[in-house]
Chains A and B, each alone.
Chain A
Amino acid sequence: MDVLVCLKRVPLAGGALILTPDSRDIETKHLGFGISPHEENAVEAGVQLVEQMGGTLTLLTLGPSDAEEQLRSQLAIGATRAVLIETDGQEWDPQGTASALVEAINADATKFDLIIFGAESADSAGYQIHIRIAHALNRPIITNVKSMRVENGVVNCERVVSDGREHYEAPLPAIITVRDGLNIPRYPSVPGRMQARKKTVEVKQAESRLPKLEKVKLSLAPSKDKGAEILGKGTDAVPALVEVLKSIGAF
């Protein structure tokens, strides 16, 4: 079974975001980089499938040359090889990204049985790159998968909705998009990290084109300090909290 996972390098920001002076990007001077939790689950799912069924796991990203860092760290948890479509560092629009990824997938010597995406990217959350790729490759796509298994050439998936679960399946070759909680991604082992350094990252170039969804600028969403009332320190403050909870009808 040959599996492909598509991932995107994003800054790892947890606290307040800061913008670059031209307001076009997040200031990343003091930030590390990673991939979305959904995509970590996608890689783990790919590693597990190859462990169970044999075959290969390829990683594919479109991004700056530094995105090799994210490919290496995911190679360390067990992927076979990786492909980087190198850009000048600007984020491409969804149509441009999807068509470059499609070109790379079609050019690859491996014919992937299953392609796994994150449900949405951590930064831009466009909810579409995978669906565009499914159309271009004429493959079935099941999105927002929370549990899956592959059997007899069919991928069986469950999607969680507010009042329960929905069951879908599709014949391979297929595409799925997965959500955080699908599995618990493993940490890379020391030998895993050593091997990752020797694995191939094939670098390709692609022509950028004018974006049809053109990012003009970013701004920070307004958020104001609610001005919490500090009830006190330690257990001494518990009676005050009990009063508050009573007054709002919590018991």
Chain B
Amino acid sequence: MKKSPLALLLTLGLLNTPLSAFAATAPMDLVGPVSDYKIYVTEQLDELASHTRQFTEAVKKGDLATAQKLYAPTRVYYESIEPIAELFSDLDASIDSRVDDHEKGVKAEDFTGFHRIEYSLFSEKSTQGLGELADGLDKDVKDLQTRVAGLTFPPEKVVGGAAALLEEVAATKISGEEDRYSHTDLYDFQGNIDGAKKIVDLFRPQIEKQDAAFIAKVDKNFVSVNKVLAKYITTDGGFETYDKVKDNDRKALVGPVNTLAEDLSTLRGKLGLN
């Protein structure tokens, strides 16, 4: 097929441009969504603080049933903003570390936070001796609120948070390993997904400007994931335990989750952020 010299020239021209073909989003256009995201995170943390207080009160009162009931709905507020919480790795460790992160397992002195309490509530089925852990959790959540209030959110961390949340899901939620004693992983799963979708929604106008087809694909995959999760919503608005998730549903989740992880990993690049 013969090409005209001009077409050849254009092809050559395209081949010579640097591969960063995405025009950077005007920085002023990012100020609105970044600050809206901080407002969202602040609100989520306010909810986390008040729900955690109720949860720890039940624990300290010895009300096992209530504590068990409040465990998962409280965590959702943490899971939705996890990328920001993770910026404070010491707090993330003391609030949300899992037993495998500790060599001495459940006996480890530095194993604190939600999952350590989860172990007592759901595995040992007891609230005995949890007073200090409960107080510690309250304190850590308050600490997190203070630190986030003082943090200027770097825009690339905000936008990158969507991908980070999907990585969380792909690496830990698909297997049901996060809440291994209570099997309430679906709550966390939904929290991660909602948090990621929030970020996409805040930056939607800017993303659409760069790549409308991309945002349509991302939306479709969110719908797929939410559809499967919705199958497991219980009558009281919570979720079934993870062991109830059928194998074919687990597989139905993996595809869109991995695809979302791949797609959202390009978000920063598309918006011209590092």
Q: Answer yes or no: do A and B interact.
A: no
